[in-house]
């Protein structure tokens, strides 16, 4: 049961697949390395326009290996949809039975804070939060901030906010109602202002290292979908992600769009 995705998903997943091996190389001396996927899906994706089956983020993380052979010691996959979670469990048990990988069925806003509380605070932990909606809540981000975490987050654009203009859901996402004045201003740069608000709030949690620009994922027709926001607490991570952003995208074009 592959998840249907757009062609643009390849760009997002290529960024993840290129970053993780270097992350593992950089954290080799740690006692263990942990990967958490907050919106894991069934493990594989089907590109709607071509029917091509590609690895989803869980399989990319399971395959990720540094040049010196370092892999993730523990992997956790959170998925709300029970059928997709069961599909992922089956794939892992068949293809990676030796790996320490756990699939958790449930809401990321409940399960991620519970999970992080059980993990060592000093273990390097990469957290991938990839959703099409306005998720996760800011309180969930706050829950993982005290740990040695790096975050790669799918930041939604105006369409998601348009669907919830008077909803507390947007306020829960930003952790403040400051977004409302920005959104209601109707300025041409308000989406960038919202992104800056979000990244500045991440800095208050200790995520002070981020890329100067953020990849903008678009449809082949040019519709803007979302930004990929990367933040870390250590400076080398910023340099690694900058290198990733300079690599060819999924179509072989030099550099990702911003």
Q: What is the pLDDT of residues 194-231, one digit of tens each?
A: 999 999 999 999 999 998 888 777 766 777 778 889 99
pTM check: above 0.75: yes
Q: Which residue has the higher pLDDT, 184 or 79?
A: 79
pLDDT of residue 110: 98
DSSP 205: T
Q: What is the CATH number of the domain that holds 220?
A: 3.40.50.150
Q: Give, as one character, the DSSP assignment of residue 2.
A: P
Residue 164 lies in a domain: no
- Give the separation between CA 129 and CA 131, rounded to whole angstroms: 6
pLDDT (mean) for 19-37: 97
| Residue 7: predicted pLDDT | 64
Measure Cα distances from 219 to 9, 65, 93, 132, 163 in Å: 9, 30, 34, 14, 20
Mean pLDDT estimate for the chain: 88
- Nearest 10 degrees: CA dihedral of 235, 255, 5, 53? -100
pLDDT band of residue 256 (cuts 50, 70, 90) is: very low
Is 233 within a domain? yes
Name beta bridge partners: 35. 75, 126
Provide the 3-class DSSP secondary structure of residue 26: helix
Task: Kindly state whether residue 187 falls inside one of the protein's structural domains.
Answer: no
Q: Would you say residue 192 lies in a domain?
A: no
The terminus-to-terminus CA distance of the chain in angstroms comes to 32
Tell me what the mean pLDDT of segment 67-95 comes to.
96
Cα–Cα distance between 143 and 141 in angstroms, integer?
5
**Which of the four pLDDT bands, split at 50, 70 and 90, describes residue 32?**
very high
Asked if the model's pLDDT at residue 144 lies above 90, the reply is: yes
Residue 37 DSSP class: E
Assigned domain for 254 exists:
no
Q: Please, what is the Cα angle at 207 between 60 and 181, to 5 degrees?
A: 105
Residue whose C-alpha is closest to residue 219's, from 173, 153, 157: 157
Q: Judge whether 109 and 137 are in contact, CB under 8 Å.
A: yes
What is the number of domains present in the chain? 1
Please list the alpha-helical segments (H only) found in the chain.
9-26, 57-63, 82-95, 108-116, 138-144, 158-162, 168-174, 178-184, 190-204, 235-245
Asked whether residue 189 is assigned to any structural domain, the reply reads no
Q: Which residues form the domain of 128?
A: 3-157+198-245
In a domain, 258, yes or no: no
In the prediction, which pLDDT does 254 show?
47
Euclidean distance between CA atoms 4 and 2, whole angstroms: 6
What residues have CB less than 8 Å from 71, skipping those under 6 apart?
24, 33, 64, 65
Q: Is 185 exposed, middle or buried (0-12, 13-18, 19+ CB in 10 A)?
A: exposed
**Which residue's structure tokens are 């960024």?**
15
Q: What angle do CA 191, 185, 109 make, to 5 degrees?
A: 50
Contact 233, 242 (CB under 8 A): no
In a domain, 162, yes or no: no
Per-residue model confidence (pLDDT) at position 131: 85
Determine the pLDDT at residue 99.
97
């Amino acid at each position: 049961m592959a998840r249907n995705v757009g062609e643009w998903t390849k760009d997002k997943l290529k960024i993840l697949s290129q970053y993780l091996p270097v992350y593992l190389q950089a954290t080799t001396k740690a006692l263990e390395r942990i990967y958490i996927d907050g919106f894991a899906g069934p493990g594989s994706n089907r590109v709607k326009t071509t029917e091509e089956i590609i690895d989803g983020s869980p399989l990319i993380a399971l395959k990720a290996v540094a040049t010196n052979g370092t892999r993730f010691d523990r992997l956790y996959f959170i998925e709300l949809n029970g059928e997709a979670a069961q599909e992922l469990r089956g794939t892992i048990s068949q293809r990676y039975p030796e790996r320490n990988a756990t699939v958790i069925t449930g809401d990321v806003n409940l399960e991620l804070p519970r999970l992080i509380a059980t993990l060592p605070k000093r273990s390097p932990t990469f957290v991938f939060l990839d959703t099409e909606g306005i998720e996760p809540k800011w309180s969930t981000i706050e829950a993982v901030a005290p740990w040695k975490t790096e975050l790669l987050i799918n930041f939604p654009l105006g369409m998601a906010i348009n669907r919830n203009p008077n909803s507390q859901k947007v306020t829960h996402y930003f952790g403040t109602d400051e977004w409302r004045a920005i959104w209601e201003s109707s300025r041409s740069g308000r989406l960038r202002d919202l992104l800056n608000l979000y990244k500045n709030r991440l800095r208050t949690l200790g995520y002070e290292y981020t890329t100067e620009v953020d990849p903008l994922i678009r449809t082949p027709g040019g519709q803007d979908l979302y930004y990929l926001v990367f933040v870390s607490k250590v400076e080398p991570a910023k340099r690694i992600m900058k290198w990733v952003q300079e690599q060819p995208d999924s179509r072989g074009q030099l550099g990702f769009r911003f």
